[in-house]
Amino acid sequence: MEGAEEAGAEIAVDSKDLQQQSKAFDKLTDRVEDRQLDSSRVQSAMASIAASREADLNAKRLREKELASVKINPADVEFIVNELEIEKNVAERTLREHKGDAVAATRQLLSRYPL
């Protein structure tokens, strides 16, 4: 009888702990209103973040255009995709970077690790 009571108490304590635990976990994903900032100060702060994207985009576009003009053999793309188990676009890009030379492209990929 005494043992049974102790067992009961233990279970009660255990379930209480579990309750607190699950409550804490639940709290993690509670919806909370975000703190608001002063409007006038915010506007001047926004102005100070200027985008300098244009130049980067232009450089990237030029590079892509250059690569796109390289002719590559579809059989070579298929070979690299199959042998090295990489994405098709990666294989294509590497071939273009090596001006369509399948051996050179494959060797460069082999020296890259992991692929």
Partner 1 sequence: MGASLPPKEANLFKLIVKSYETKQYKKGLKAADAILKKFPDHGETLSMKGLTLNCMDRKTEAYELVRLGVKNDIKSHVCWHVLGLLYRSDREYREAIKCYRNALRIDPDNLEILRDLSLLQAQMRDLSGFVETRQQLLTLKPNHRMNWIGFAVSQHLNANASKAVEILEAYEGTLEDDYPPENELIEHTEMILYKVSLLEESGSFDKALEELHKKEPKIVDKLSYKEQEVSLLSKVGRLEEANKLYRVLLSMNPDNYRYHEGLQKCLGLYSESGQYSSDQIEKLNALYQSLSEQYTRSSAVKRIPLDFLQDENFKEAVAKYIKPLLTKGVPSLFSDLSSLYDHPRKPDILEQLVVEMKHSIGTTGSFPGSDVKEPPSTLLWTLFFLAQHYDRRGQYDVALCKIDEAIAHTPTVIDLYSVKSRIMKHAGDLTAAAALADEARGMDLADRYINSECVKRMLQADQVPLAEKTAVLFTKEGDQLNNLHDMQCMWYDLASGDSYFRQGDLGRALKKFLAVEKHYADISEDQFDFHSYCLRKMTLRSYVDMLKFQDRLHSFPYFHKAAIRAIRCYLKLHDSPKSTAGEDEMSKLAPAQKKKIKKQKKAEARAKKEAESKSEESTASGASKSGKRNVKPVDPDPHGQKLIQVEEPMAEASKYLRLLQKHSPNSLETHLLSFEVNMRKQKFLLAFQAVKQLLKLGAENPDSHRSLVKFFLMTESISAPTTEAEKLRWRVLEAERPSISQLQNKSLMEANKEFLGRHEDSLVHRAAYAEMLYILDPSKKTEAIKIIEDSTNKVVQTNEALGQAREWKLKDCIAVHTLLDTVLLDSQAASRWKSRCAEYFPCSTHFEGKHCSLMPDSVYNSSRKSNENGDTPNHPMGQTELSDGQLEAFKSLSVAT
Closer CB to partner 1, 69 or 74, in the complex = 74
Q: Do residues 95 and 102 lie in contact, with contact meaning Cβ atoms separated by under 8 Å?
A: yes
Closer CB to partner 1, 37 or 69, in the complex = 37
24 is an interface residue for partner 1 by CB under 8 A? no
3 is an interface residue for partner 1 by CB under 8 A? no
Cβ contacts of 84 within 8 Å, gap of 6 or more: 91, 106, 109, 110, 115
54 is an interface residue for partner 1 by CB under 8 A? no
Segment near partner 1 (CB under 8 A), from 54-62, 63-71, 90-98, 101-109? Answer: 101-109
Rounded CA-CA distance 75/77 in Å is 5
